[in-house]
């Protein structure tokens, strides 16, 4: 089975303040399955953080990124199967899930929510990880 990698990048460009050198991508298509990299409040083209200090704005940008990447892969939000939401504070849960719920109304994916001590950058408050399919 061939794998297609979408939006390849190197971590030295994404995290210039850290001494990293990892070749990654935003999405992998394997057969009819799409695996997305965890999405955060970041513009994928400029690498600028958005919604700093505003968890709902970060969730909104993360979901917009998810929608854009799925479209680039030949899928869409309605084909999301699994969703994992990482929060750095349980008090952000309601704000984030309201945003996610608006984007995924009627989709009914399985979902896991996890509270973590931190994400890759201190300004990131939420990360959303998605697995979807490309319909036949």
Q: If you search the block for the tokens 């600028």, which residue do you land on?
A: 48
| CATH for 3-133, options being 3.30.70.100, 1.10.287.1040, 1.10.3720.10, 3.30.1330.40 | 3.30.1330.40
Extents of the domains making up the chain: 3-133
Q: If you search the block for the tokens 């704000």, which residue do you land on?
A: 95
DSSP, res 104: T
Comparison of pLDDT for 12 and 44, the residue scoring more: 44
The H-assigned helical ranges of the chain are 11-14, 55-72, 93-103
Residue 22 pLDDT level (bands cut at 50, 70, 90): confident
Distance CA 94, CA 15 (A): 29
Distance CA 27, CA 35 (A): 6
Instruction: Indicate the pTM of the whole model.
Output: 0.93
Mean pLDDT of the chain: 94
pLDDT of res. 19: 84
pLDDT tens digits, 32-78: 999 999 999 999 999 899 999 999 999 999 999 999 999 999 999 99
Instruction: Flag whether pLDDT at 16 surpasses 90.
Output: no
Instruction: Flag whether pLDDT at 124 surpasses 90.
Output: yes
């Amino acid at each position: 089975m061939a794998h297609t990698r979408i939006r390849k990048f190197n971590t030295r460009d994404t995290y210039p303040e850290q001494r990293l050198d990892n070749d990654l991508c935003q999405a992998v298509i394997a057969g009819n399955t799409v695996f997305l990299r965890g999405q955060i409040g970041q513009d994928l083209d400029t690498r600028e953080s958005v919604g700093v200090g505003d968890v709902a704005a970060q969730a909104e940008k993360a979901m917009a990124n998810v929608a854009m990447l799925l479209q680039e892969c030949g899928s869409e939000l309605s084909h999301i199967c699994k969703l994992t939401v990482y929060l750095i504070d349980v008090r952000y849960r309601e704000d984030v899930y309201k945003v996610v719920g608006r984007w995924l109304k009627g989709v009914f994916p399985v979902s896991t929510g996890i509270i973590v001590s931190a994400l890759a950058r201190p300004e990131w408050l939420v990360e959303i990880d998605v697995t979807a399919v490309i319909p036949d």
